[in-house]
């Protein structure tokens, strides 16, 4: 079994390691020298300095190449460069968080050249190397079949943690909704623990409570496991800035809910909370303060 991997960031590098440790021969490329060097001692992984070298080192036949790149221009640019290096029958797998409609477009365009395309939603983060990745695959049955042996190595088990979700776009659509759900779950935990901390008269040990909830509670989850872990290390979190980035998939999920007319208020509000943390409602808050001052004579706090 041989596979090419393009993109050796946090996810791509660990996926290369897991595949190699599962018995696959991995040919890996990243434009950053340091990223390639980090895999230099990994048995079963050969790093190369360019896409041409990657394609040349893969055995002839129906090659499989996994791209672990940021969504958008990086994927399209890589596909353009690969166009002259791959052949009909090869399978290209996009394991990034691409917009599902972009995946549908790419699959159709590549099919005109006899190339197979798989959109692979990947979950598991930095823990995937040890515990396996959850894979949501979209594409034709033939395209997905080419990737299944590698999906079985990446997943927690050969028959668990991966799924052919449907035609092209379905894998990234499933991952988009997955991330929307994740937004809502994270927001609920954050709000709940904020309420617990605010009730100072009870002085509840949040780390111990999180650990208690991990056993038998209906709210137990991997996210709660992570909460219990970092609260045990630092329950005050005073060194953490109250700013939460959004990767884009929450926005896509909220837009999809509007387009389909399907109510998703929790996901939408969780997205808005992230915008709020980024200071994007500061002007609106200043407007609110001034309105209160004008109609009711309420005091306005001035910046120092």
Per-residue pLDDT band at 302 (split at 50, 70, 90) = confident
Per-residue pLDDT band at 292 (split at 50, 70, 90) = confident
Q: Does residue 211 carry a catalytic annotation?
A: no
Determine the pLDDT at residue 228. Answer: 94
Six token digits for residue 255: 């837009």
Determine the pLDDT at residue 247. Answer: 76
- What are the phi and psi torsion angles at 206 (to 5°)? -65, -35
In tens, the pLDDT along 8-37 reads 998 999 999 999 999 999 999 999 999 999
Per-residue pLDDT band at 304 (split at 50, 70, 90) = low
Average pLDDT over residues 102-130: 95
In tens, the pLDDT along 180-203 reads 999 999 999 999 999 999 999 999
Give bridge partners of residue 208 from the DSSP assignment. none
Architecture of the domain whose range is 176-204+241-288: Orthogonal Bundle (1.10)
Q: Is the pLDDT assigned to residue 287 strictly greater than 80?
A: no
Global pTM reads: 0.91
Average pLDDT over residues 58-74: 93
C-alpha triplet 174, 175, 176: angle, nearest 5°: 90
pLDDT averaged over the chain?
93
As a whole number of angstroms, the distance between CA 250 and CA 256 comes to: 10
Domain 2-166 is classified in which CATH homologous superfamily?
NAD(P)-binding Rossmann-like Domain (3.40.50.720)
Average pLDDT over residues 256-271: 94
Task: Note the helical H segments in 155-248.
Answer: 170-198, 206-213, 222-233
Determine the pLDDT at residue 120. Answer: 98
The answer to whether the Cα torsion of 106, 111, 116, 121 is positive or negative is positive
Q: Is the pLDDT assigned to residue 300 strictly greater than 90?
A: no
Q: Does residue 256 carry a catalytic annotation?
A: no
Six token digits for residue 58: 């893969």
Determine the pLDDT at residue 177. Answer: 96
> DSSP label at 157?
B
In tens, the pLDDT along 148-169 reads 999 999 999 999 999 999 999 9
As a whole number of angstroms, the distance between CA 253 and CA 176 comes to: 6
Active-site residue identified among 175, 199, 229, 259: 175
Burial of 98 (0-12, 13-18, 19+ CB in 10 A): buried
Higher-confidence residue: 289 or 46? 46
Active-site residue identified among 60, 62, 145, 182: 182
Q: Where are the domains of the chain?
A: 2-166, 176-204+241-288
């Amino acid at each position: 079994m041989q596979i090419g991997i393009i993109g050796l960031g946090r996810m791509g590098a660990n996926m290369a390691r897991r595949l190699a440790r599962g018995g696959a021969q991995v040919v890996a490329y990243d434009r950053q020298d340091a990223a390639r060097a980090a895999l230099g001692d990994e048995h079963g992984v050969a790093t190369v300095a360019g896409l041409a070298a990657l394609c040349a080192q893969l055995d002839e036949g129906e090659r499989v190449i996994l791209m672990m790149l940021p969504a958008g221009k990086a994927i399209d640019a890589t596909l353009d460069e690969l166009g002259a290096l791959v052949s009909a029958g090869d399978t290209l797998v996009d394991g990034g968080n691409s917009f599902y409609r972009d995946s549908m477009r790419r699959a159709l365009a590549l099919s005109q050249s006899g190339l197979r395309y798989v959109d692979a939603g990947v979950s598991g983060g930095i823990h995937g190397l040890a515990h396996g990745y959850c894979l949501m695959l979209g594409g034709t049955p033939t395209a997905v079949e080419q990737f299944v042996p590698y999906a079985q190595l990446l997943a927690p088990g050969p028959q668990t943690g991966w799924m052919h979700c449907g035609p092209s776009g379905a894998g990234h659509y499933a991952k988009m909704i997955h991330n929307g759900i994740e937004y809502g779950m994270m927001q609920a935990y954050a709000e709940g623990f904020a309420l617990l901390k605010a009730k100072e008269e009870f002085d509840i040990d949040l780390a111990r409570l999180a650990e208690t909830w991990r056993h038998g509670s209906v709210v137990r989850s991997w996210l709660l496991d992570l909460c219990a872990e970092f609260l045990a290390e630092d329950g005050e979190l005073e060194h953490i800035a109250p700013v939460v980035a959004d990767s884009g998939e929450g926005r896509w999920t909220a837009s999809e809910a509007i387009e389909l007319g399907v109510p998703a208020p929790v996901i939408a509000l969780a997205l808005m909370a992230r915008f709020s943390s980024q200071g994007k409602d500061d002007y609106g808050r200043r407007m609110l303060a001034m309105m209160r001052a004008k109609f009711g004579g309420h005091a306005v706090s001035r910046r120092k």
